[in-house]
Chain A
Amino acid sequence: MEQRLANTWQMTVNERKFIEMALAADLRVDDRGPFDYRPCTITFGRHVFLSPPFHSSLIYLCAGGSSEVQLGETRVMSYVTSQLVQPYRDRPNEGTLSIFTEFSPMADPAFEAGRPGEFAIELGRIVDRGLRESGAVDMESLCVVVGKLVWSIRVDLHILDNGGNLIDAANIAALASLLTFRRPECTLGGDDNHELIIHDIEDREPLPLIIHHLPVAVTFAVFGEGNIMVIDPSYKEESVMGGRMTITMNSNGDICAVQKAGIGISSSVIIRCLEICAVKAAEITSKINHAMESFNDGRSIQYPNFHPVDVAIQDNLPDVIMDKKQIENLIGHLAALPLDALDRNSNKSGAVVVGTNTRAKFENNQARDGVPFYSPSNWDPYPRKLCSRLARSSLKLSGLPEDVEEDKVNTTQSVTVECGLEHTKGASSSRALETPSEYTTVEATSQYIKAPKTLKDAVKIQNRKMRK
């Protein structure tokens, strides 16, 4: 036990005094203002959809919705999956959302693998309250068969690098991944309208989640006697601070959750923090929306017939088939690049970096069959309680032009996005050609599950028939 403590990093008295004295003079060690966030970068992941014959169990796992957020030195990855389960007995018409936090030992030598520590649990609870209990994610639209089958959404948050202020970064990552997540569509059909058909991704477009508002967490660190507050504490500031307050707010100014621990703060300071938080929440919401717009536009450009693979917006992945000569060329490119274009700290200006350079227009978002592409601005923010088939048709009809968020990005303008690496420009055009061929050999199938069955079968369906 002593060996573990010996290996952890301890703050020296000199550093502690320095940080405290600097804050008393309104200076922060990394040259930020007291209410400035560190530069935030949101990147989205790429996933492979497997067609149903390759799933071993009948619990249909839908991949998709992965994001990685870098807030200064802090890095958090979020991954969303869904499966069909039996609902809770007291809420038979609502789906479930659960958040799992993994404090990976790679983030901090003090984190131990295995049981989550108290801070891990606290972080999970704060994100959970902000997302689930404030009603940000619509649960009733996840119901498939009342009382029998609902979608259960699971969000896994992996903390990869602890640079301070994990709560804010984890919250942004969870939001970004939930916004890009798509689940397969399932309808009731068959001979007697009792059979559940889960449509394959090739058949019908997967559906996004209905998200009413974006709750954003803003963390304040308290120093001194409760009078000095700074936003977005770095790791060193966190080990010196006297207390912490996290306010989860959406861009409408609604407070979703408040968590406070540590030394006492007067109520006037808290009111001031709430006002600052409203401004910061709006800023972060617009950043997330901007990232989403670029991502969705990129997705529709490269897959005009809507293929289910999310666009890779990682910097270092040229998507061409490489033989030896091309490997040499690639290494030549990597060597010639400026060092800070490679991965971390690639964007110091605070804007969102996306690795594709596509110019997108909103008209291209129309998918086949004239069904409008479900980008965030088309979602109906206040769905009534409907069955799945009606819900789908109401989504088609409504297409509300206004967002819940205040600052809506005008999507009819063409979008130019910064490109961290120059050499991916040449490769991105070939991406559209390469990847659709990956899925030409995948067969389109759908599963038929016959109801009624016992409760055990509803949870884990053992046998299913597949029909071409």
Chain B
Amino acid sequence: MAPMEVDRADGRTSNQLRPLSCTRNVLHRAHGSARWSQGDTIVLAAVFGPKAGTKKEENPEKASIEVIWKPKTGLIGKVEKEYEMILKRTLQSVCLLTIHPNTTTSVIVQVVGDDGALLPCAINASCAALADAGIPLKYLAVAICCGLTGSRSVILDPTKIEEKKILAFAYLVFPNSPISVLPKGSLTEDSEPIEAGIITSVTHGAMPVVDYFNCLDRGYAACAKISEFLRRSMESQAPSDLTKTT
């Protein structure tokens, strides 16, 4: 169905993202750190690890990931625990866990600003921090929030005000597009490119199945753009590792 143009409060079209910004290596004590912002939603992620030993309930034959979510104000409640769990599962599928068995990598996420799409922003920040720390990864996870308005059109990256008004929204996480020397089409699973696979999908609110697939298509296209941005920002900052002081 033809996409309808939606009037958004800050003047964006339904396909426009807020300005993205990624800075890595912001903290001195942490092994890896990144600050990711999408408009006014700003998240600071830090990575320590791998440290020796795993917790009792974790599998010692693989590396384990521990996520600590720090909200801006107030005590840690159920919402924060849920975010920790989702983030942990997402990062577990992104990291190569068999390289360092019986170790724990800690990811600490601090919310600096919250204006909608907080969990995708945190996932993006954590992946950038993991890359900054040098933890071996299969690919990076790129996350986006897609909202479904009452007129059944999909808007990308809603702000907090928009999130309260729309019918339903979904947080979608895709792997980032790989650059490889192998011919195009060889990195596929069942004739689908590898970056079309969904790592995580969290939905809020009820949406029809057709609209969910619309969200997936839009989200996948947007994530391709975000992963381009991520790759370029990492390449441009790579020389800084040589001048890093202890």
Partner of B233, one of A3, A68, A156, A334: A334
Contact with A along B8-33 (1 / 0, CB 8 A): 01111000111111010111111001
Across the A-B interface, how many residue pairs have beta carbons closer than 8 Å?
145
Q: Which residues of B are found within 8 Å of A318, using beta-carbon distances?
A: 19, 21
**Nearest chain B CB to A80 CB, angstrom units:** 9
| CB of B138 within 8 Å of the partner chain | no
Q: Are A106 and B19 neighbours in the complex by a CB distance under 8 Å?
A: no
Count of chain B residues near A, Cβ 8 A: 53
| CB of A276 within 8 Å of the partner chain | no
Report how far A47 CA is from B72 CA in the complex, Å: 12
Q: Which residues of B are found within 8 Å of A162, using beta-carbon distances?
A: 29
Q: Are B110 and A106 neighbours in the complex by a CB distance under 8 Å?
A: yes
Q: Are A322 and B160 neighbours in the complex by a CB distance under 8 Å?
A: no
Q: Which residues of A are found within 8 Å of B88, using beta-carbon distances?
A: none
Contact with B along A302-341 (1 / 0, CB 8 A): 0000000000101011111111100100110011000100
**Nearest chain A CB to B188 CB, angstrom units:** 25
Q: Which residues of B are found within 8 Å of A161, using beta-carbon distances?
A: 27-30
| CB of A283 within 8 Å of the partner chain | no
| CB of A154 within 8 Å of the partner chain | yes
Partner of B110, one of A45, A54, A104, A327: A104
Report how far A319 CA is from B20 CA in the complex, Å: 10
Q: Are A46 and B10 neighbours in the complex by a CB distance under 8 Å?
A: no
Report how far A343 CA is from B237 CA in the complex, Å: 12
Q: Which residues of B are found within 8 Å of A104, using beta-carbon distances?
A: 68, 70, 108, 110
Q: Are A434 and B10 neighbours in the complex by a CB distance under 8 Å?
A: yes
Q: Which residues of B are found within 8 Å of A7, using beta-carbon distances?
A: 51-52
Count of chain A residues near B, Cβ 8 A: 60
**Nearest chain A CB to B238 CB, angstrom units:** 10
Contact with B along A52-71 (1 / 0, CB 8 A): 00100000000000101000
Q: Which residues of A are found within 8 Å of B110, using beta-carbon distances?
A: 77, 104, 106, 158, 160
- Are A343 and B26 also in contact (CB < 8 A) when A3-B53, A7-B52, A105-B108 are? yes
Of chain B, the residue at the smallest CB distance from A331 is B232
Q: Which residues of B are found within 8 Å of A73, using beta-carbon distances?
A: 28-29
Contact with B along A105-116 (1 / 0, CB 8 A): 111110001000
Chain A residues close to B by CB (< 8 Å):
3, 6-7, 45-48, 50, 54, 66, 68, 73, 75, 77, 79, 81, 102, 104-109, 113, 154, 156, 158, 160-163, 235, 312, 314, 316-324, 327, 330-331, 334-335, 339, 342-344, 434-435, 437-442
19 of the cross-chain contacts (CB-CB < 8 Å) are A48-B113, A66-B112, A79-B73, A102-B70, A104-B70, A106-B44, A106-B46, A109-B51, A113-B108, A160-B27, A162-B29, A316-B21, A322-B20, A331-B233, A335-B232, A344-B26, A344-B28, A439-B9, A440-B9
